[in-house]
Structure 1
Amino acid sequence: MRRHHRHHEGYKHPHKKHRLKKKLLFRIFFTFMLTAVLIIGGLGWLVHSLKPDHGLSPVAEKNAIFYLSSLQQKLNSSLSEKGIEDLYKDLNLYARVEGFESLADQKNLPTFNEIEKEDEHYSPKVVLGKHHEYFFAELKGASPRTAWFVSAKEIPRGFAFPFVAVAGFIFLILIMSFLTIRWMMSPIKVLMTGVKRISMGDLKYRIKTRQGGEFQVLGEAFNNMADGLEKMVAAKEQLLRDVSHELRSPLTRVGVAVDLLKDEAIKGSIKDDLKKMEELVAEILESYRLREGASSLKKSSTDLTELVTHVVEDYKDSAPGVVLKNPEDVSIVIDPMQVERVLRNLLENAIKYAKPQSVPIVVTLIKEKDGCVLRVKDDGVGIAEKDLAHIFEPFYRADAARSPGKSGFGLGLAIAKTIVEAHGGHIFATSQLGQGAEFTIHLPFE
C-alpha cells in the first residue's frame, strides 16, 4: 500500500553535508576546466600542424632542396615534351618547364608570375605556396626554370593525418569527460531510485553504491533514514494492531452491560456507537491482515461477470440506482469475497456522495489482453484535486470537500487498494469537484 511519511530522522551533521556539496561541485568544475584546456590545446596543435611557422627549418629546407634537385636532374636527363609527360605518369607531379610552357597551359597550371605572387616566403632558396587547387614548389636558380605542382585533390590521405588525429583526440577527450562525469554522478540515480521506492511504501529498500567518498556517506545516511522510518512505522502499526485487539474484549463487556439498561433510547444510542467502534476495530485488523499480500487471499477461478452482475443487482434500487453497461465475459483467478468487497465499497461510496439529481451509477467490465478492467463511474459531488492524491491513504477523509455531514473511518478505499494490489493489480481514481468521480480497477489474469 502506498504510504506517505512526513517525519524522518534527519542527518546529524549539516555542515558535513554542505562540505560534500562543495566537493562535488569542485570536482565537476575541475573536470570541465580540464576538458576545456585539453580541447583548446588540441585545437592549437591542429592549427600549428596545418600552418607551419613563417620560415622553414634548416633541416626541412635542406631536404626540400635535395628533393627538388633530384626532380630537376631527372627532368634534365630527358628534357622533352615526352619526358615531361612521363614524369606526370610516373610521379603524379605536374611541371611548368621554361621552354615547354604550352604543355603546362594545356593542363591549366599556374604561370610563373602567378606562383611568384603566391609565394609564402618560407625559404630564400625555395618557392612554396598554393594557387587555387594546386600546391607548388620551385627551386630558385634551377635551369631550365621549373615549377612543380600537385593537385590538392590528389594528395594522399596520409597527409590529412594531423587533422584526423587531432579531431579524433578531441572527440576522445569529450567522450572520456562525459563518461567520467556520468560515473561521478551515477550514485544520484541510485539515490533517486531509493527515494522513489521509499515514497511508494517499500521501507525495506536500501541503496548500494560502489563509489566511496561523498556518495558513500550519503548512501549510509539514506539507509539510516530508511531504518528509522521502518522502525517508526512498524512500531506505530504494532501499537495500532495491539490496541485494536485489546479493544475487542472491553467492547464486548460494555455491550453486555448496555443490554441491562432499561432506558431504550440511551441503550440504542450506546449500541450504535459500540457498533461503529467494533466495525472500526474489525476494519483495522482486516487492513493489517491484507497487507500480507497474496498469501492472505483465498483464490479460485471465478466468473467475474456473474459476480459483478450479482453485486449490481443488490444496489439497483438504491438511489440514484446502479446499472451494468455491456459487461464482457471474464473468467479470472481471484479471491471472490475480497473483490466483491472492493466493488461494494466503491458502490456504497458513490451512492453516499450522489447528488439529488444524479443519474444512475455506471459499472463497466472490459476484458483486455493481459487482464480485465472494472470501472465505477458516478456524477456525484466529486473529489477535490487536493484530496484525490490521498484518498487511498488509511484514515484520510475528504468528507468536508465532498459532502458535509457524511461519516466514515477513512479505511474503505485503503482496504480496497490493498486488496487490488494483493491480486497484482492497481486501482486509481479520476474526478473533478462537482462533476462526479470514476474509479478504475485493473486485475491481471496472471
Structure 2
Amino acid sequence: MKIKKTYTFAFWSSFYITFFTSIILFILTYSFSNILIKPTYILFYLVVVFVFTFLIIQYRLEKFIFQRIKKIYNSVSLLDSSDFNKTPITSDVETLSKEVQKFAELKQQQIRSLTLREGYRREFLGNISHELKTPLFTVQGYLLTLADGAINDKKISQKYLERANKGVDRLIEIVRDLDLISKLESADLDLNKQSFNIIELIQNVFDLLEMKAKKRNISLFFDKHYEYPIMVIGDIKRIEQVLTNLLVNSIKYGKINGVTLVSVEHFKKDKIIVKITDNGEGIKKEHRARLFERFYRVDQSRSREQGGSGLGLSIVKHIIEAHNEQIFVKSKFKKGSEFSFTLEKLEKI
C-alpha cells in the first residue's frame, strides 16, 4: 500500500526532533557527569518523544488539510462534503484532484453537448419553418389567385384547387407526423402488440407501394421464397408504418430500373431481423449518424422534390425503440443502403 504523504512528513519531522532532543540530552548528560541516567531510560524517553511528536504533527496536518479541502468540496457542486467525512483525510488530496479533473472533463463534455444540441435546435427550427412555409405559401398563392378571379374559369379553378389541396395534405402530413413523434418521445403512445405474420405484412406493403415503385421502374422483391409464415410480436399498424417508410425511402433514393430486396432472418434466440436493401445512391459516412434526426436530409434539394414530411426515418426509429428493439443502417456511397430492424419472434407452442 502507498504510504500517506503526511505520515512520511510526520515521521521525518519526528525523527529530526527526536534526534535533536537526543543530542541535547547527551550534551546535558556529558556536561553534568554527576547525573547518572540509565540507557534504558534514555531510550524510553526518545521513543516517547518520537511517538508524541509524530502524533501531534500528524493530527495538526490532518486538521489543516481537512479544513482547506472541505472548503473546496463545499465550493464544488459535484463533490459532497458528507462523503468526504467518511474517507481518510490524508489520502483524500489525490482523490480530490482526480474528482476535480473528472468534474472539469464532465463540464467540458456537457458544454460540447449543449453546443451541439443548440446547433441541432437551430437547424431543426430552420428546417421545420421551411417545411411548413413551402406548402403554406403554395396554398396561399393558389387561393389568392382564385380569389382574384381565376375561380370563374372552371378549368383553372379545378387545377388550382387540386394543387392547393396537395399543399394542405402536405401540411396535415407534417403535423400528423410531428404529433406521432411527440407521443413516441413522451411514451404516450399505446402499442397494441399482437402476433402476426411478418411475411404477409411485407407483401401487403409491396402491393400498397406497387404503383409508386413502377413510376421509377423499381422492383420490390423478397430475397427468397418464404414457404412458411414467420410469426412475430408487435403493433402491426406501427410495424406496417416502419416498413412503408423504409420501402418508400428505398424507392425515392433507389436507382431507376433498380431492385429493393427484403429479407427476414434469424437474429438471436427469440429475435428476427428484417433487412431492406437497395442498390441506389447510398449514404456518405458523415451523414449516417444523423439520419434519424427530425427533418435531417442528406440531399436537401432532391429530398424536397421527392416530397414527404422529412420525418419518416425519425418515426421509424421511435417506433422500433418503443418496441424495445434495435434499428441498424449500412451503406456505401453510390452502391446502395441496407436498413434493418429487429422484432420479437413468437415462440412456438
TM-score by length of 1: 0.43
Does residue 366 of structure 1 match 2:265? yes
Conserved in 2, the CA contact under 8 Å of 1:383 and 1:402?
no
In 2, Cα distance between the equivalents of 1:366 and 1:444? 12
Does residue 344 of structure 1 match 2:244? yes
Within a 5 Å distance, the mapping from 1:27-426 to structure 2 comes to 213-217=96-100, 222=106, 258=143, 261=147, 262=151, 264=157, 265-293=159-187, 296-316=190-210, 318=213, 319-324=217-222, 325-327=224-226, 329-358=229-258, 360-368=259-267, 369-400=269-300, 405-426=305-326
Cα displacement string for residues 387-439 of structure 1 (whole angstroms, at most 9, x for unaligned residues): 12211111110125987943444310011011111111111111111111111
1:435 to 323, 335, 344: 335
Q: Aligned pair in 2 of structure 1 residues 344, 306: CA closer, same or farther (>3 Å)? A: same
Q: Aligned-pair distance for 1:223?
A: 7.5
More off after superposition, 286-295 vs 411-420: 286-295
In 2, Cα distance between the equivalents of 1:431 and 1:412? 18
The gaps in structure 1 that reach 5 residues or longer are 1-29, 35-206
The secondary structure found in structure 2 opposite 1:367 is strand
Conserved in 1, the CA contact under 8 Å of 2:184 and 2:319?
yes
The secondary structure found in structure 2 opposite 1:213 is helix
The secondary structure found in structure 1 opposite 2:306 is coil
Conserved in 1, the CA contact under 8 Å of 2:320 and 2:341?
yes
In 1, Cα distance between the equivalents of 2:234 and 2:243? 13
Q: Aligned-pair distance for 1:370?
A: 2.2
Q: Aligned pair in 2 of structure 1 residues 226, 306: CA closer, same or farther (>3 Å)? A: same
Aligned residue identity for 1:326: H
Aligned residue identity for 2:196: T
Conserved in 2, the CA contact under 8 Å of 1:326 and 1:364?
no
In 1, Cα distance between the equivalents of 2:303 and 2:188? 35
The gaps in structure 2 that reach 5 residues or longer are 9-77, 85-94
In 1, Cα distance between the equivalents of 2:319 and 2:97? 42
| Rg larger for | 1
Conserved in 1, the CA contact under 8 Å of 2:297 and 2:303?
no
Conserved in 2, the CA contact under 8 Å of 1:321 and 1:361?
yes
**What count of residue pairs does the alignment treat as equivalent?**
228
Q: Aligned-pair distance for 1:208?
A: 9.0
Q: Percent identity?
A: 29
Aligned residue identity for 1:213: L
In 2, Cα distance between the equivalents of 1:422 and 1:316? 29
Conserved in 2, the CA contact under 8 Å of 1:299 and 1:335?
yes
Cα displacement string for residues 270-300 of structure 1 (whole angstroms, at most 9, x for unaligned residues): 3322221221111111111112348531212
Q: Aligned pair in 2 of structure 1 residues 215, 401: CA closer, same or farther (>3 Å)? A: farther
Q: Aligned-pair distance for 1:215?
A: 4.7
TM-score by length of 2: 0.54
Q: Which has the higher contact order (CA 8 A, sep 6+)?
A: 2
What RMSD, in angstroms, separates the aligned Cα atoms of the two structures?
Answer: 4.2
Aligned residue identity for 1:366: E
In 2, Cα distance between the equivalents of 1:304 and 1:294? 25
In 2, Cα distance between the equivalents of 1:225 and 1:435? 36
Aligned residue identity for 1:363: V
The secondary structure found in structure 2 opposite 1:339 is helix
The secondary structure found in structure 2 opposite 1:296 is coil
Aligned residue identity for 2:321: E
Q: Aligned pair in 2 of structure 1 residues 274, 215: CA closer, same or farther (>3 Å)? A: farther
Q: Aligned pair in 2 of structure 1 residues 305, 266: CA closer, same or farther (>3 Å)? A: closer
In 2, Cα distance between the equivalents of 1:334 and 1:311? 16
Q: Aligned pair in 2 of structure 1 residues 300, 218: CA closer, same or farther (>3 Å)? A: farther
Q: Aligned pair in 2 of structure 1 residues 223, 293: CA closer, same or farther (>3 Å)? A: farther
